[in-house]
Amino acid sequence: MKKVGRSGAKSAPPGTVFQIPAVQALLFQISSFFIVLLLAYSLAAVFGWSMNVLVAACLQGVVAAGLSWWRGLAPWWLLIQLLFLPVLLLTLSLQWSPFIFLAAFLVLLFLYWSTFRTQVPYYPSRLSTWQAVEGVLPPEQKISFIDIGSGLGGLVMSLARRRPESRFVGIEIAPLPWLISSLRARFGASGARFERGDYGRLNFADYDVVFAYLSPAAMPNLWRKAKAEMRSGTLLLSYEFIIPGTTPDIVLSPDASGVQLYGWRI
């Protein structure tokens, strides 16, 4: 019999903070600033050329994107690095009220919350995904299902409506999506239940099906947790992101986008 233990969130070992993509991106922006500053001073001293602020900002973006590519960051980081400073300067030139920036910051903070640490941004799934998930659930059987990183709760509430005999739970660490999903369930009289917290503190042994729509960075840890805790005969599902080094038992393409739903029978 598989030994089942309760997993807790683990603190990162010393030095791993510099492996976090957001930290690396910040360091590359800082490094690029000094590189461009040195270049600007050199051009002014040798040739008498003065570098325009916007040109310097664009050049810093190019250098930061180049460093990110060199270190193997994901493609979206290259775009963020390239555009960050030019877009910031453009936004400041519009002279918007500081309250607009504060409001935008608070919305993004409560929406993405721990993305810096978990490397799992908000990924909304769609109706075709919900239908594909419903199609692989054990039929005519009362099950306990959890969506880890449930976002606005669409999948969990859809399944709870179609399978009222079963238990459907969503867990979300970001405050804003959790609040929205909880209010939707309450005022919509849904049988779905939503918890706010880190799925790392859950015991997967309490569930027959675990669904994840996370990110590539999270998949190895998810697999280790699933293998350690999930009971024999249960099902782990992942939309879009496969677990490296494994062969899924289920591979479905819910729609024409080609993004796949993967499943592993434990």
Give CA–CA dist 130/232, Å, rounded: 24
Higher-pLDDT residue of 120 and 32 is 32
**pLDDT tens track for 11-25:** 334 345 666 667 788
Residue 168: CATH number of its domain: 3.40.50.150
CB atoms within 10 A of CB 96: 11
Indicate if 217 and 134 belong to the same structural domain.
yes
Indicate if 55 and 135 belong to the same structural domain.
no
Indicate if 255 and 147 belong to the same structural domain.
yes
Domain that holds residue 31: 17-95
- Is 60 exceeded by the pLDDT of residue 9? no
Mean pLDDT throughout 115-140?
Answer: 73
In a domain, 1, yes or no: no
pLDDT band for 177, please (50, 70, 90 cuts): confident
Per the CB < 8 A criterion, the answer to whether 62 and 29 are in contact is no
Indicate if 140 and 231 belong to the same structural domain.
yes
Q: Please, which residues have CB within 8 angstroms of residue 129's CB and are 6 or more apart in sequence?
A: 155, 213, 239, 254, 255, 261
Closest residue by Cα to residue 149 from 114, 130, 173: 173
Indicate if 172 and 43 belong to the same structural domain.
no
Percent of the chain with pLDDT over 70: 80
In a domain, 3, yes or no: no
In degrees rounded to 5, what are phi and psi of residue 6? -95, 125
In a domain, 104, yes or no: no
Number of domains into which the chain is organized: 2
- Is 90 exceeded by the pLDDT of residue 147? yes
Indicate if 142 and 45 belong to the same structural domain.
no
- Is 60 exceeded by the pLDDT of residue 144? yes
In a domain, 70, yes or no: yes
- Is 70 exceeded by the pLDDT of residue 178? yes
Inter-residue long-range contacts of 52-61, CB under 8 Å, 24+ positions, other chains counted:
53/89, 54/86, 54/89, 57/85, 57/86, 57/88, 57/89, 58/85, 58/86, 60/29, 60/32, 60/33, 60/35, 60/36, 60/85, 61/32, 61/85, 61/86
Indicate if 186 and 259 belong to the same structural domain.
yes
- CA 113, 117, 123, 125 torsion-angle sign: negative
In a domain, 163, yes or no: yes
Radius of gyration of the chain from Cα atoms?
A: 23
**pLDDT tens track for 60-116:** 999 999 998 998 876 777 888 888 888 888 877 777 776 766 666 555 555 554 544
- Is 90 exceeded by the pLDDT of residue 133? yes
Mean pLDDT throughout 124-148?
Answer: 87
In a domain, 156, yes or no: yes
- Is 90 exceeded by the pLDDT of residue 169? yes
**pLDDT tens track for 186-239:** 998 899 999 988 888 999 999 999 999 887 878 898 999 999 999 999 999 999
